[in-house]
Amino acid sequence: MTSVSDVVHLAARETVRHSRDAMANTETSSAERYLTVPELAALLRIKERKVYDLAASGAVPCSKVTGKLLFPEQAVRRWLERGQSGTGQSEAGRASVFLGSHDPLLDWALRQSECGIATLFDGSQDGLDRFAANEGVAAGLHMYDPASDRWNVTSVDAALSGTDAVLLGFAKRQRGLVVSRGRRDEITGLADLAGRTFTPRQIGAGTRTLFDHLMHEADILQDTIRMRPVARSEADAVLDVATGESDATFGLEALASQHHLGFVPLIEEHFDLLVSRRAYFDPPIQRFLSFLKTAQFAEHAAALGGYDVSEAGSVRWNG
C-alpha cells in the first residue's frame, strides 16, 4: 500500500504544468486557483479515495466549498516541495517572521512588545505551510477540524508531528457575521445572506474554511450570495463593510465593535501560536511571550472585546 511519504516523493518529481492547465478559477483574483479531487489524484498518480484520506488527515491543504473538496494551487505546490529531500532550510535558518492568520490583538502585541519580529499574515494554511518550510519562527492559526471537533491541534499534528515545534494558546475569539449599519435588522443569521453582498476571505484562510463549513452544515448554497473580491486580512474584510462596499462579512466581534457595526455571534474559536522550539528560547520570542502575561495586554484585549486571553502562552501541543 502506497504511503503518504511515497505519494509526496512521487508527486514532487511531476511537473506542475499539468495541474496548472487543468485548474479552474472560482475566485475574483486570478491567483486563487485550485485542483479538484480527480485532478489532484491524477497529479499524484493515486486513486481518488486516497485523496480523500489525505484531506481527512490534514496531510494535504484543502478547503471544502458547497460540499466539494478544493486544493489551492500555491499551497499544494509548497506541500509537494516539503516532500522533496535536500530542499529545506536548516532550523537555524528560520527568518524572524511571524506567519499565518491576521489578528488585530496579535498584530498590536507584536508591535507593543517591541520584540522586533516582522509579520507576513496571509492566512492559517499559508502560515502552516511556510512554517513547515522554515520560512518563519512562528505562525498564528485558527484551523477547525470537524471530525475531531478540535482547533489547530489536528492540522498541526498531521503536518509537523515529530518536528521541533510547539503550539501555544493565544486567545479564544468571538466570530460571526459583521453587518453594515443599514442591515442590522435584516441580517440575523447565515440564511439572511441570500441576495446580499458579502466579502469573503481567500481560500486557505482559517476564516474562509470555517465559513464554508458553517454554510455546509446549515445547507445553504453560497451561489445565492453576491460575493465581493476576496479580502486578505480580517481588517480589510471588515473595512469593506464599514465603507458600505459590502453588506456583511464573516469576522471578529472586536473589529465589528471598533467600526460600530452590527455583529451576529456564531462561534467561539481558538487562535493559537505555532512556535519553533529553538526560536522559543531566543530573546525576540521570549520578549513577546513575556508581554502576553502583562496587565497591559489583558486590559487591551478586554477593551477590544470578543477575546478571552486567560490561556495565553499555555502549551496546547508539543511536537
Q: In the chain, what are the domains?
A: 4-82 (1.10.10), 91-319 (3.40.190.290)
Q: Which of 117-121, 195-199, 308-312, 315-319 has the lowest mean pLDDT?
A: 315-319
pLDDT, residue 27, reads 43
Which three cell numbers, joined as nine digits, stand for 160? 509537523
| Confidence band of 3 (pLDDT split at 50, 70, 90) | very low
Tell me the average pLDDT of the chain: 86
Residue 259 in 3-state DSSP? coil
Residue 216 in 3-state DSSP? helix
Residue 61 or residue 304, greater confidence: 304
pLDDT, residue 284, reads 97
pLDDT, residue 178, reads 98
User: Residue 264 above 50 pLDDT?
Assistant: yes
Nearest CA-CA partner of 206 in 130, 141, 155, 256: 141
DSSP state of 192: G
Residue 293 burial by Cβ neighbours in a 10 Å radius (0-12, 13-18, 19+) = exposed
Nearest CA-CA partner of 305 in 140, 168, 111, 105: 105
Cell 493515486 belongs to residue: 46
Looking at residue 196, its amino acid is R
